[in-house]
Amino acid sequence: MTIKTITTQPFTDQRPGTSGLRKRVRVFQQAHYLENFVQAIFNTLSDCQGQTLVIGGDGRYYNREALNIILRMAAANGVGRMLVGQHGILSTPAVSCIIRKYKALGGIVLSASHNPGGPDADFGIKYNVSNGGPAPERITEQIFQHSLNIREYRTFDAADIQLDELGEQSLGDMQIVVIDSVADYAELMEQLFDFERMSQALRSGALSIRFDGMNAVTGPYAHAILEQRLGAPAGSVIRGTPLPDFGGDHPDPNLAHAQELAALMFSPHAPDLGAASDGDGDRNMILGKDCYITPSDSLAILAANATLVPGYAQGLAGVARSMPTSRAVDRVAETLGIECFETPTGWKFFGNLLDAGRITLCGEESFGTSSDHVREKDGLWAVLFWLNILAVRQESVQAIVQQHWATYGRNFYTRHDYEAVDAERAQALVDDLRRRGSELVGQRFGSVEIDYCDDFSYTDPIDDSVSHNQGLRIGLRGSGGEARIVYRLSGTGTQGATLRVYIERHEPDPERHDQDPQSALADLITLSQELAQIAAYTGRTAPSVIT
């Protein structure tokens, strides 16, 4: 076995997006493509000699091949030890947990999250740093710069690595340890939640759950935690085996893609809690009998009920939400008298606040919620949090959300995505709206008036780093409570551009809480299309996905 240095040419499109580098599988399969990016990571980590790294993926097509390539390159780059999930499987929150627990230098997550998998679908790679969280922009930018200048990469001449049996092996001077994918994560969950109480409720039938693993990575975690440890009856976890193509479905936990679960939850046989997670296990969708909880509301409700859960019984230091997330949690923070931060989209922006102990809970409207227990969003954690609250309060999900709205008012919320539109046209739409922003202020449209229009910039309160152009915010006042429309372009898509439009209005009056968000927000939805001239720029008269 020898180290080889391979000559290569740079690719120009390896700038990491909102969450790592995501491309079509066929792009990654081009000669040297994955290798270049991985070498760019090693070049950025000049200090990986003799260090420990964690690696695993969501089991999608190309997971094993990529793992073998990366392990050989790690050995050739002087890494001391690689902790690898058995069968190459680790959920994103599990990678974060393991990096922290074993004090690794960092980790590599192989996933394109909720994007479909298979030879004609998507693959992705993301580097996480020693706090367990996604690399901050400063580091992803360095990786990109290295990728533009790369001329060679290092690899090891060796046979494929055995990933199915637990235990140690070596590759040159590097040690490879195949670890149980679930054990460390499950142990952490046991420290945070009241497993005894939840288990009693589930075993006695007082509480019931249906969890949809969407044929993706959370299946093994959900089987082990919900069914084996907590004693939920067999069958409580559906689609619980990770498949390379996720069974041909989008592993995206929303009402459109978790149809079987959604149908059950709106039927007479609905269990108390319905939930789903995404491809890599960091997202969650929460449903009750006949009710769907908006992720923004879920964050607010977890914050308001946190002290019912042992791991958070001491109260919260503060909370944070991504900018487009509804402001429901802001109201809870105000009542609790704690800080609430508004960060750009993407989990990497929560890392500093969590490390500094300024926040305990944080979340995004895109079905992401988590706390300071790891540095990633965590799907199953959110489900256990809800389960713990239900076991303590012994009320339905619907009763809990209605009481929450009665106390804080309801933030009606929806996100409209215009997917796979022409990238230049989408950028022109945003640029044009930004230019017209100041003229719009003070203008009336029907019953609302534009209060402000800005392009969101964020200064990190811990390290003062600044991120510009994070989305256009339009604030509105007028009939109903304060309202907001936000526009931004996705940083995770792999085809053309995706325009995301986020629409929100606060409604204090409980008499008006029982409306469908699409009708409660109908006037703002129309306004969102007109203000940005969406049809003229994209040729689309309706969004492709509504969540």
**Active-site residue set:** 113
Task: Compute the least distance from the CB of residue 224 to Co ion, in Å.
Answer: 20
Binder among 282, 297, 365, 378 for Co ion (CB under 5 A): 282
278 binds Co ion (CB under 5 A): yes
Give the burial string for 252-276 (b: 16+ CB within 10 Å, else e): bbbbebbeebbebbeeeebbbbbbb
Partner interacting with residue 325 (select from ligand VG1, Co ion, none; CB below 5-8 Å by kind): none
Return the range that interacts with Co ion (CB under 5 A); candidates 106-114, 126-134, 140-148, 451-459: 106-114
Specify the residue, 198 or 429, whose C-beta has the smaller distance to ligand VG1. 429
Task: Compute the least distance from the CB of residue 472 to ligand VG1, in Å.
Answer: 14
DSSP E strand stretches across 429-533: 444-445, 448-455, 458-459, 466-467, 472-478, 483-489, 497-507
Specify the residue, 16 or 517, whose C-beta has the smaller distance to Co ion. 16
Partner interacting with residue 388 (select from ligand VG1, Co ion, none; CB below 5-8 Å by kind): none
Asked if 323 contacts 342 with a C-beta cutoff of 8 angstroms, the reply is yes
280 binds Co ion (CB under 5 A): yes
* Residues binding ligand VG1 (CB under 6 A): 18-19, 113-114, 278, 282-283, 322, 345-347, 364, 366, 368, 490-492, 500
Residue nearest ligand VG1 (C-beta atom): 113
Asked if 23 contacts 37 with a C-beta cutoff of 8 angstroms, the reply is no
Task: Compute the least distance from the CB of residue 330 to ligand VG1, in Å.
Answer: 17
Specify the residue, 278 or 504, whose C-beta has the smaller distance to ligand VG1. 278
Specify the residue, 126 or 239, whose C-beta has the smaller distance to ligand VG1. 126
Partner interacting with residue 297 (select from ligand VG1, Co ion, none; CB below 5-8 Å by kind): none
Task: Compute the least distance from the CB of residue 12 to Co ion, in Å.
Answer: 26
Asked if 152 contacts 8 with a C-beta cutoff of 8 angstroms, the reply is yes
Residue nearest Co ion (C-beta atom): 113
**Tokens for 9?**
């040419």
Instruction: Say whether 281 sits in a helix, a strand or coil.
Output: coil
58 binds Co ion (CB under 5 A): no
Q: Which of 526, 523, 532 shows the shortest CA–CA distance to 440? A: 532
**Tokens for 214?**
């969407």
Specify the residue, 92 or 529, whose C-beta has the smaller distance to Co ion. 92
Binder among 36, 113, 369, 529 for Co ion (CB under 5 A): 113
Task: Compute the least distance from the CB of residue 177 to ligand VG1, in Å.
Answer: 26
Q: How far apart are CA 493 and CA 501, in angstroms?
A: 15
> Helix count (H) and strand count (E) of the chain?
18, 27
Return the range that interacts with Co ion (CB under 5 A); candidates 31-39, 71-79, 112-120, 154-162: 112-120
Angle at Cα 216 formed by Cα 219 and Cα 65, nearest 5°?
Answer: 120
Q: Is residue 168 packed enough to be buried (19+ CB in 10 Å), middle (13-18) or exposed (0-12)?
A: exposed
Instruction: Report the greatest alpha carbon distance in the chain.
Output: 73
Partner interacting with residue 236 (select from Co ion, ligand VG1, none; CB below 5-8 Å by kind): none
Task: Compute the least distance from the CB of residue 92 to ligand VG1, in Å.
Answer: 7
DSSP assignment, residue 249?
S
Measured CA to CA in angstroms, residue 8 lies from 13, 30, 145 at distances of 15, 12, 15
Specify the residue, 52 or 91, whose C-beta has the smaller distance to ligand VG1. 91
Residues that bind Co ion (CB under 5 A): 113, 278, 280, 282-283
